[in-house]
Amino acid sequence: MSLVAVGTVAFDDIETPFGRAERVVGGACTYIALAASYFIKPVQIVSVVGDDFPETMLNELRSRGADTEGVQIKQGEKSFFWAGRYHADMNGRDTLDTQLNVLADFDPILPDSYKNATYLMLGNLTPQVQMRVLDQLTTRPKLVVLDTMNFWMNIAMDDLLKVLKRIDVLTINDEEARQLSGEHSLVKAAAKILNMGPKYLIIKKGEHGALLFSEDEVFFAPALPLEQVTDPTGAGDTFAGGLIGWIAKTDDISFENMKRAIIYGSAMASFCVEKFSIDRLVELDTEKIQQRVEQFAKLVKFDI
């Protein structure tokens, strides 16, 4: 069993109504790897950083079970940087700055030891880069999960549609599902999107939970109502990391186990938002995660 995760490792500036964090560690792959590392080791990561990225942080990732052989360190270049400000309701956010830096011409290179991955998590990146990763695999993974966003639907829809034919699970939010399908009803949207290639569609709705669709089944995972959401950054990536981590650990891609994977992903995301950056994600353990998952089970339990 092996897990490869592809995505950004980066710096973020974050402002929320509850405070701000400057030049903190972020990036989809960072969140994915940290979340997945509670379920399976190693997580073989594919990314790119500049020489400004602290070696201590890469060591921290390694100490938690990340294999960083696939992380390119570009001398004389800077890491990807994103700055954003969340609205008072924490649901919307404005991007204040995006500096692609090393990401501008990122060409992912898979070490040989990654090329027969059993599980592959393609974090949000250009569809072309996601495709480049798929092209380097020597065997078809048992499950490929792909995250994307409206931005790529706007500027690279053709490439996105091509990569969708080669993956198994797509994770997007409700507005993106509507945009991708042209259907308002999420039931109709799911039917159309499942015709584009994926076997499973996961629609992430943030504080409203998540929906899982297969061709003939549907599952609704709640979000845990929280006292305090401090910083939503990385919640979607953390969700994906918990999801793929659980699947890799259990090596079971049935619909029943996808449901559990979504609950574990939701539980990890519910931790992520409690503190800035990765601060909450690095202080968990199996017992805390299991207790959180049991809260999810209790939250929706009823007998008829």
For residue 185, the minimal CB distance to a copy of itself (Å) is: 6
Contacts of 110 (CB under 8 A, 6+ apart): 4, 46, 70, 133, 136, 137
Q: Which of residues 201-230 bind a copy of itself (CB under 8 A)?
A: 205, 208-209, 211, 218-222, 225-229
Residue (46 or 190) nearer to a copy of itself, CB: 190
Structure tokens at 155: 């500027």
Stretch that binds a copy of itself, among 29-37, 95-103, 117-125, 294-302 (CB under 8 A): 294-302
The answer to the question of residue 87 lying near a copy of itself (CB under 8 A) is: no
- Please state, in angstroms and rounded to a whole number, the distance separating the CA atoms of residues 215 and 3: 26
- Please state, in angstroms and rounded to a whole number, the distance separating the CA atoms of residues 289 and 129: 33
Kindly report the CA angle at 56 between 283 and 75, in degrees rounded to 5?
Answer: 140
Structure tokens at 185: 């009803």
Looking at 256, 282, 288, 291, which residue binds a copy of itself (CB under 8 A)? 256
The answer to the question of residue 23 lying near a copy of itself (CB under 8 A) is: no
Q: Which of residues 166-205 bind a copy of itself (CB under 8 A)?
A: 184-188, 190, 205
For residue 84, the minimal CB distance to a copy of itself (Å) is: 18
Amino acid letter, 81: F
- Please state, in angstroms and rounded to a whole number, the distance separating the CA atoms of residues 2 and 78: 30
Looking at 57, 58, 90, 137, which residue binds a copy of itself (CB under 8 A)? 90
The answer to the question of residue 134 lying near a copy of itself (CB under 8 A) is: no
Residue (159 or 252) nearer to a copy of itself, CB: 252
Give how far Cα 95 sits from Cα of 190, 233, 276, Å: 29, 12, 17
Looking at 156, 260, 274, 275, which residue binds a copy of itself (CB under 8 A)? 260
